[in-house]
Structure 1
Amino acid sequence: MKSPVLALFALGALVALPAAADPFRLIVSDLETPLVPNSVMELAQQGGYFERAGVEVTFVRVQQTPLAIAALQAGEGEMANISVDALMQLAARGGTDLRAVLSPNKSLPFLIAAAEGIETVADLEGRSFGVGRLGSLDHSLSMTVLQRAGVAVDRLDIVSLGQPNVRAQALLAGQIEATTMSIGTLISLPDPEAVNVLLDADAYYAAAPVVTKVNAVPQAVLDTRRAEVEAVIEALVLASRDFAADGASWASAMAEARPDVDRDDLDQLATLYAQSWSVNGGLQRDELEYTASWVAQSEDFQGLDLPSLEAWVDFGPLDAVLARIGVDDSAGMDSLSR
Structure 2
Amino acid sequence: MSVRLAAGLLAALLGLAAASVPPLAMAAPFRLIVTDHEPPLVPNSVMELALTEGYFAREGVDVELVRVQQTPSAIAAMAAGEGEMANIGLDAMLQLHARGATDLKAVMSPNKSLPFLIAGSDEIDGAADLSGRSFGVGRLGSLDHSLSLKVLEAAGVDTETLAIIPLGQPNVRAQALAAGRIEATTMSIGVWLTLPAHDGLEVLVDQEAYYRAAPVVNKVNVVSPDVLAERPDEVRAVIRALILASRDFAAEPQRWSAAMAELLPHVERTTLDDLAASFDGSWSVNGGLSRSELEFSADWVFQGPDFDGLDPVPLEHWVEFAPLDAVLSELGTDPSADAADR
TM-score band by shorter chain is 0.7 to 0.9
Cα deviation, residue 117, structure 1: 9.6
* Structure 1 residue identity aligned to 2:174: N
Q: CA-to-partner distance for each residue in 1:241-267, whole Å, 9 max, x for gaps?
A: 111111111111011122232222222
- Does structure 1 residue 209 correspond to structure 2 residue 204? no
CA distance in 2, matches of 1:139, 1:64: 14
Aligned match of 1:91 in 87, 97, 110? 97
Contact 1:126–1:156 (CA under 8 A) maintained in structure 2: no
- Does structure 1 residue 21 correspond to structure 2 residue 26? yes
Contact 1:130–1:159 (CA under 8 A) maintained in structure 2: yes
Which stretch of structure 1 is more off in the superposition, 310-319 or 291-300?
291-300
TM-score (norm 2): 0.83
Residues 305/12 of structure 1: CA separation in 2 closer, same or farther (3 Å cut): farther
Cα deviation, residue 300, structure 1: 3.3
- Does structure 1 residue 308 correspond to structure 2 residue 314? yes
CA distance in 1, matches of 2:130, 2:66: 47
CA distance in 2, matches of 1:19, 1:3: 28
Aligned match of 1:34 in 31, 35, 40? 40
Residues 217/127 of structure 1: CA separation in 2 closer, same or farther (3 Å cut): closer
Give the structure 1 partner of residue 339 of structure 2: 335
Contact 2:152–2:159 (CA under 8 A) maintained in structure 1: no
Residues 16/95 of structure 1: CA separation in 2 closer, same or farther (3 Å cut): farther
Residues 62/143 of structure 1: CA separation in 2 closer, same or farther (3 Å cut): closer
Cα deviation, residue 289, structure 1: 1.5
2:64 alignment partner, SS class: strand
Give the structure 1 partner of residue 158 of structure 2: 154
1:305 alignment partner, SS class: coil
Any gaps of 5 or more consecutive residues in structure 1?
none
Residues 139/50 of structure 1: CA separation in 2 closer, same or farther (3 Å cut): closer
Which stretch of structure 1 is more off in the superposition, 247-256 or 47-56?
47-56
Residues 227/309 of structure 1: CA separation in 2 closer, same or farther (3 Å cut): same
- Does structure 1 residue 8 correspond to structure 2 residue 8? no
Residues 38/291 of structure 1: CA separation in 2 closer, same or farther (3 Å cut): same
Give the structure 2 partner of residue 225 of structure 1: 231
- Does structure 1 residue 107 correspond to structure 2 residue 113? yes
Residues 211/17 of structure 1: CA separation in 2 closer, same or farther (3 Å cut): farther
TM-score (norm 1): 0.84
Give the structure 1 partner of residue 242 of structure 2: 236
Any gaps of 5 or more consecutive residues in structure 2?
168-172
Which stretch of structure 1 is more off in the superposition, 303-312 or 248-257?
303-312
Contact 1:110–1:200 (CA under 8 A) maintained in structure 2: yes
Residues 20/188 of structure 1: CA separation in 2 closer, same or farther (3 Å cut): same
Cα deviation, residue 11, structure 1: 2.8
CA distance in 2, matches of 1:155, 1:67: 28
Give the structure 1 partner of residue 170 of structure 2: none
